């Protein structure tokens, strides 16, 4: 009788271990490897995956990741990155409570190439050319005439410890890199965490991005060139700590464009003691405009971009720095740089030229301050937390 009762108890425990609602059983993560060229539409169900090598999504192919998945690579195996080739699509269905995380086993910044996407939206690269070749080691052509290019939809995605060079690339990659990506692509609720280069970089294109967090990246929090012209950007948040350059490095590849991007609701914070990536570099400003860089920014909070001292030398910091005389003449004086409703604190100067010869004077209404500007408005959740760290300081 005792054996019979024990058997019933075991069977009972098996059933009670399931959800009380058998139509909603607890989903177990799958495991698998992701490698090589993905040549067919693929859905990666909720799971823990290992990304091996430079994984490329072919033109005409859609790859989807389900919410809650974790994708890990290992720098010891060589170069790693997730690349969306021109014509391919990446769909990531993360949520606030179950983001999709791309990370690296060593947790060391600069250990892999991050997510790289190519499109055929318009660019204007150096010399005014409308196509160019990427410098990221993939040597891909980017640029075209398809302003509505659609590279997919990225929702609630965190990329950690990126910023590596790939193959013989001439520059480091970022957490997220977008080459001529178009306006039908969705970029929403993305985190760039502790990379060795920029958090987000745009090479031309027309894509816009909302609810971005750049945390602890060694170079710039946000960076663009080649005539990027996204018009519907909002809620960008940067926290630079320990090592970091500009909050935003803005250039247009020396082209005096008739267009400029627009970003509203921005918070840029530089923690005390943060120094530039290269010792002695004067790269500690919230906004840097150079090579005809421009843009329209409204409702901005800037904190902590003051002077810093290193090796007995004090270097000046500013809310806004204009790097060269041409940018000052064409973009500042030409009203193509607009910074309105700036709430500035902990910063030595509001506006500086890179040299005393560059005297910056914004036309009336193009540079305004406000003590009530609120900056980025981003909701907390699992997607904004790494370990015990809340990224929204």
pTM (two decimals) = 0.92
Distance CA 96, CA 116 (A): 23
Residue in the block written with tokens 């090796």? 311
Average pLDDT of the residues of the chain = 92
pLDDT score at 213: 98
Which tens digits make up the pLDDT trace of 319-354? 999 999 999 999 999 999 999 999 999 998 999 999
pLDDT in tens, 131-140: 999 989 999 9
What's residue 63's pLDDT? 98
Residues 286 and 267: their CA atoms lie apart, in Å, by 10
Kindly report, residue by residue over 229-287, the tens digit of the pLDDT: 999 999 999 999 999 999 999 999 999 999 999 999 999 999 998 988 887 677 889 99
Q: In which region does residue 97 sit, left (phi positive, over 0), alpha (psi from -120 to 50) or beta (all else)?
A: alpha
Residue 204: pLDDT band with limits 50, 70, 90: very high
Q: In this predicted model, what pLDDT tens digit does every residue of 36-95 receive, in sequence order?
A: 999 999 999 999 999 999 999 999 999 999 999 999 999 999 999 999 999 999 999 999
pLDDT-derived band at 316, boundaries 50, 70, 90: confident
């Amino acid at each position: 009788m005792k054996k019979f009762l024990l058997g019933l108890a075991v069977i009972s425990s098996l059933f009670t271990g399931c959800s009380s609602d058998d139509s909603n059983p607890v989903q177990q993560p799958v495991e698998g490897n992701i490698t090589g060229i993905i040549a067919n539409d693929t859905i990666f169900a909720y799971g823990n995956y290992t990304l091996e090598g430079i994984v490329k999504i072919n033109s005409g192919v859609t790859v989807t990741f389900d919410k809650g998945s974790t994708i890990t690579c290992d720098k010891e195996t060589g170069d790693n990155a997730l690349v969306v080739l021109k014509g391919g699509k990446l769909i990531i269905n993360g949520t606030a409570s179950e983001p999709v995380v791309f990370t690296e086993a060593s947790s060391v910044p600069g250990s892999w190439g991050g997510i790289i996407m190519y499109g055929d939206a318009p660019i204007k690269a150096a010399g005014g050319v409308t196509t160019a070749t990427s410098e990221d080691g993939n040597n891909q052509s980017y640029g075209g005439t398809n302003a509505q290019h659609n590279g997919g939809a990225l929702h609630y995605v965190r990329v950690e410890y990126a910023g590596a060079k790939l193959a013989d690339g001439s520059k480091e990659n970022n957490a997220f890199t977008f080459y001529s990506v178009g306006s039908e692509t969705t970029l929403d609720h993305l985190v760039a965490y502790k990379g060795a280069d920029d958090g987000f970089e745009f090479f031309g294109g027309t894509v816009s991005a909302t609810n971005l967090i750049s945390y602890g990246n060694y170079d710039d929090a946000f960076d663009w060139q080649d005539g990027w012209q996204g018009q519907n950007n909002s809620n960008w948040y940067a926290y630079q700590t320990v090592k970091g350059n500009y909050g935003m490095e803005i250039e247009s590849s020396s082209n005096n464009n008739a267009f400029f991007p627009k970003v509203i609701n921005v918070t840029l914070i530089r923690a005390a003691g943060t120094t530039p990536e290269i010792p002695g570099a004067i790269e500690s400003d919230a906004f840097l405009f150079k090579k005809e860089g421009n843009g329209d920014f409204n409702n901005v909070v800037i904190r902590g971009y003051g002077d810093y001292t290193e090796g007995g030398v004090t270097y000046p910091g500013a809310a806004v720095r204009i790097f060269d005389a041409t940018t000052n003449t064409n973009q500042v004086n030409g009203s193509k740089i607009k910074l309105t409703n700036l709430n500035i604190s902990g910063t030595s100067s509001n506006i500086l030229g890179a040299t005393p010869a560059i005297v910056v004077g914004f036309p009336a209404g193009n540079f305004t301050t406000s003590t009530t500007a609120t900056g980025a408005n981003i909701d907390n959740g699992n997607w904004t937390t790494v370990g015990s760290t809340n990224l929204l300081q």
